[in-house]
């Protein structure tokens, strides 16, 4: 029988050849696309338009290899950029960014950390000590700034005058009891009991100012009875140590002590007419930044607040009736924000809310707590009265 192909067989063969050709072309195309698939580079950050800001602030991130898919993070909070080009990203600080959040960029599955950036957020609560009534209290600044909430008092075991106060990141207040030489610990929501974690038997001697290093869970306080700065853990299990400073007395009568943990330095204000700094490990000697030598108006500086990010410090002059702003490095002439002409009588406790542009202080003569504009404009606002306060701290 002769071998032959029908027209149908020929058509099927041609169709199969056509499909095979198409498949080959498709394979080549797919391979070519994969070869040309975009590779997202790792972002490189060189600088920020500014090193700090508030919720709603707009900043520019400078660098290279920025991609259109980039997402900016403030801590763990994501923010979508408003504009991106290869060398700059413009972004707005999100409303839920937290105090102190740093910046990073995520693109191509790789995260790149930026230079240090600090987010300022408005204060929620003001905690303070009440010396005469042997109490720790707070003011809810957002909901009721003129109402006092009593957290702990003599019934809860606070005996004697309490002076300094510090707030930990995990929600505890640490208070210095000057009258009975104790360091007290309590919850900032008013629950639980008051615990004396260090006493005179541990070396506590008329403590005034107190501060906390949240990164290392360490307390620092000023022993005005022995002219020493003490250091111990926040859990109360340590034997407190003395910061030595080559054997020289660090303080005289100190009600203001703040820490710059990043630089490893503390700043303090002392009734012996000086504001100075030293190393948190107690090495070297302390350095006087302001005294009658470079600021004749200084008069028993009582409490202090520092802002290392902006390079500023603030303190209260108890005798010269002043609220003062100065450079953190001790240069320049201090700026008096409020004084006797504004009604300041004998200023004590102090705190600053940069996001709200407010400064808070206690007047121990009038026994009131005030707040004013951080730039010194306008008249101070009285928040509460009948409060004999030496120490205060804000919760953000």
Residue 310 has pLDDT above 90, yes or no: yes
Domain with CATH 2.120.10.30 in the chain: 122-395
Give pLDDT, residue 34: 46
Q: What is the pLDDT of residue 28?
A: 47
Query: Alpha-carbon distance 354 to 361, whole Å?
Result: 14
Name the pLDDT band for 19 (thresholds 50, 70, 90). Answer: very low
- Where are the CATH 2.60.40.10 domain residues in the chain? 44-119
pLDDT value, residue 332: 97
pLDDT in tens, 285-305: 999 999 999 999 999 999 999
Arithmetic mean of pLDDT, 115-128: 95
The residue-averaged pLDDT of 358-377 equals 97
Confidence of residue 274 (pLDDT cuts 50, 70, 90): very high
* Cβ partners under 8 Å of residue 264, min gap 6: 279, 280, 281
- pLDDT at position 247: 86
What pLDDT score does 1 carry?
A: 43
Superfamily per CATH, domain 122-395: TolB, C-terminal domain (2.120.10.30)
Rounded distance between C-alpha atoms, residue 31 and residue 313, angstroms: 63
| pLDDT mean over 382-392 | 96
- What is the chain's mean pLDDT, rounded? 92
What's residue 99's pLDDT? 87
Helix (H) or strand (E) holding 9: helix 7-35
pLDDT of 36: 54
When pLDDT is cut at 50, 70 and 90, the band that residue 12 belongs to is very low
Strands 52-54 and 77-79: unpaired
- Say what the pLDDT of residue 6 is: 52
- Note whether 358 and 372 are within 8 A (CB): yes
> Distances in Å between the alpha carbon of 384 and those of 1, 222, 269, 362?
117, 28, 25, 10
| Across 2-11, 218-227, 314-323, 344-353, least confident range | 2-11
CATH architecture of 44-119: Sandwich (2.60)
> How much is the pLDDT for 365?
94
pLDDT at residue 387 tops 70: yes
Burial of residue 141 (CB within 10 Å: 0-12, 13-18, 19+) is buried
The pLDDT score that the predictor gives to residue 196 is 97
Query: 306 with 323: CB under 8 angstroms?
Result: no
Please say if the pLDDT value at position 25 is more than 50.
no
Mean pLDDT of 18-46: 62
Q: Which residues have a Cβ under 8 Å from the Cβ of 373 and sit 6 or more positions away?
A: 357, 358, 359
Strand, helix or coil for residue 119: strand
Mean pLDDT of 129-155: 96
* pLDDT at 38 (0 to 100): 75
């Amino acid at each position: 029988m002769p071998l032959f192909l029908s027209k149908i067989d020929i058509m099927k063969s041609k169709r199969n050849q056509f499909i095979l050709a198409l498949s080959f072309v498709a394979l080549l195309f797919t391979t070519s696309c994969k070869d040309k698939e975009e590779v997202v580079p790792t972002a490189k950050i060189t600088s920020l338009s500014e090193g700090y800001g508030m919720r709603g602030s707009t900043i520019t991130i400078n660098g290279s290899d920025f991609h259109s898919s980039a997402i900016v993070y403030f801590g763990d909070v994501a923010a979508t950029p408003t504009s991106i080009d290869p060398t700059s990203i413009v972004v707005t600080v999100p409303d839920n960014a937290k105090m102190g959040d740093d910046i990073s960029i995520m693109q191509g599955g790789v995260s790149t950390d930026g230079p240090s950036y600090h987010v300022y957020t408005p204060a929620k609560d003001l905690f303070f000590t009440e010396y005469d009534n042997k109490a720790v209290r707070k003011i809810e600044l957002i909901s009721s700034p003129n109402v006092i909430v009593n957290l702990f008092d003599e019934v809860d075991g606070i005996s004697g005058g309490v002076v300094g106060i510090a707030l930990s990141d995990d929600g505890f207040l640490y208070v210095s009891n000057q009258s009975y030489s104790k360091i007290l610990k309590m919850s900032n929501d008013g629950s639980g009991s008051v615990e004396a974690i260090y006493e005179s038997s541990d070396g506590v001697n008329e403590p005034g100012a107190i501060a906390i290093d949240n990164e290392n869970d360490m307390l620092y306080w000023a022993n005005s009875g022995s002219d020493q700065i003490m250091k111990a853990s926040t859990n109360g299990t340590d034997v407190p140590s003395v910061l030595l400073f080559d054997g020289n007395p660090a303080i005289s009568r100190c009600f203001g002590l703040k820490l710059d943990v990043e630089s490893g330095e503390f700043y303090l204000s002392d009734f012996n007419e000086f504001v100075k700094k030293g190393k948190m490990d107690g090495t070297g000697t302390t350095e006087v930044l302001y005294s009658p030598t470079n600021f004749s108006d200084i008069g028993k500086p009582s409490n202090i607040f520092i802002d290392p990010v902006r390079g500023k410090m603030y303190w209260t002059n108890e005798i010269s009736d002043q609220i003062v702003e100065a450079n953190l490095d001790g240069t320049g002439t201090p700026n008096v924000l409020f004084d006797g002409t504004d009604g300041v009588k004998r200023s004590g406790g102090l705190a600053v809310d940069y996001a709200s542009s407010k400064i808070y202080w206690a007047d121990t003569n009038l026994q009131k707590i005030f707040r004013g504009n951080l730039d010194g404009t306008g008249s101070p606002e009285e928040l509460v009265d009948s409060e004999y306060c030496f120490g205060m701290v804000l919760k953000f």
